[in-house]
Structure 1
Amino acid sequence: MSESPATSRRTVLCCAAAVLAGGSAVAVTGCSSSGSSSSSNNSANSAGAGSSGNAGSGAAGAVVLGAATDVPVGGGKVYRDQKIVVTQPAAGEFKAFSAKCTHAGCIVDQVTAGQISCPCHGSKFAIADGSVKGGPAPSPLPEYKVAVQAGKLQVTKV
């Protein structure tokens, strides 16, 4: 009889976790002790990954963002879902940075007048190197490697 309360407590905790996680079947199967839940969770995570930039179609670890022609010369484009901003300071020269502001972690929202702008507290960053140009940000945006393959931008976090 001592095993029944333990099993019951585990069931309650797992079900509570499932409810907190949104009640999805993946969360419920994650509570099983059969060991098959990791493959279910991995396939669920993989399904979500395809919608955020076709990460699997680039080089190992690279995220494919879209056409290089989408990034204007002297400007840039924010890829909000991937939390990446790509700029083109000069024709054919692409730079990629984290889109997460180094001040409060907000996602930058636009690239205008040669600067990447954060909407939360007004931080500004240079499109050429991600350096701080204004506002409360304490450090530059982290830079990523970017390459153009078959006309598509591929970004790799360093």
Structure 2
Amino acid sequence: MIEGATRRTVLATGAAAVAAPVVACGGNADGDTGGDLGKTSDIPEGGGKIFKDQKVVVTQPSEGDFKAFSAICTHLGCTVNTVAGGTIDCPCHGSKFHIADGSVAHGPATRPLPKKSITVKGNSIRLA
């Protein structure tokens, strides 16, 4: 064991080292990191939908205006779980983010949700 290190520190460091290569893998054989998320009709006007596998939330603040943000809360990294009442909500500590721009509506988060790139073609939404 490393002098001054606790068992927890050593285990956490080892787990991070093992997990890092797995996290680095992504995309498909063609190098395309995007993917179909769904149809525009899946996203309610004034609301949104969370795509857990892609860690993305897509919102439609007004008719035909689609936005996408990371589904990972900027407070402590929990995955948001609800889009309601004009906000994207995190279950862990109560942070809420505006559906129009991802900005913080209610803390403890202090940073907005990072924007994600999507393309809307016809009635299809695709992660860019």
Task: Tell me the equivalent position of 1:129.
Answer: 101
Distance 1:113 1:103 in 2: 20
Distance 1:125 1:63 in 2: 24
- Does 2:60 correspond to 1:79? no
Task: Tell me the equivalent position of 1:8.
Answer: none
Distance 2:116 2:127 in 1: 7
| Deviation at residue 63 of structure 1 after TM alignment | 2.2
Task: Tell me the equivalent position of 1:64.
Answer: 36
Q: How much identity, in percent, do the aligned residues show?
A: 51
Larger radius of gyration: 1
- Does 2:94 correspond to 1:114? no
Deviations 1:11-37 (A, max 9, x none): xxxxxxxxxx9xxxxxxxxxxxxxxxx
Q: Which runs of 4+ in 1 moved over 6 A?
A: none
| Deviation at residue 155 of structure 1 after TM alignment | 1.8
SS of the residue 1:81 aligns to? coil
| Deviation at residue 64 of structure 1 after TM alignment | 1.2
SS of the residue 1:97 aligns to? strand
Match of 2:72 among 83, 86, 100: 100
Task: Tell me the equivalent position of 1:139.
Answer: 111
In structure 1, give the amino acid aligned to 2:98: A
TM-score norm. by structure 1 comes to 0.60
SS of the residue 1:69 aligns to? helix
Distance 1:147 1:114 in 2: 22
Aligned residues: 103
- Which consecutive unaligned segments of at least 5 residues does structure 2 have? 1-17, 19-24
| Deviation at residue 62 of structure 1 after TM alignment | 2.1
Task: Tell me the equivalent position of 1:151.
Answer: 123
- Does 2:44 correspond to 1:90? no
TM-score norm. by structure 2 comes to 0.73
Q: Aligned-pair RMSD on alpha carbons? A: 1.9
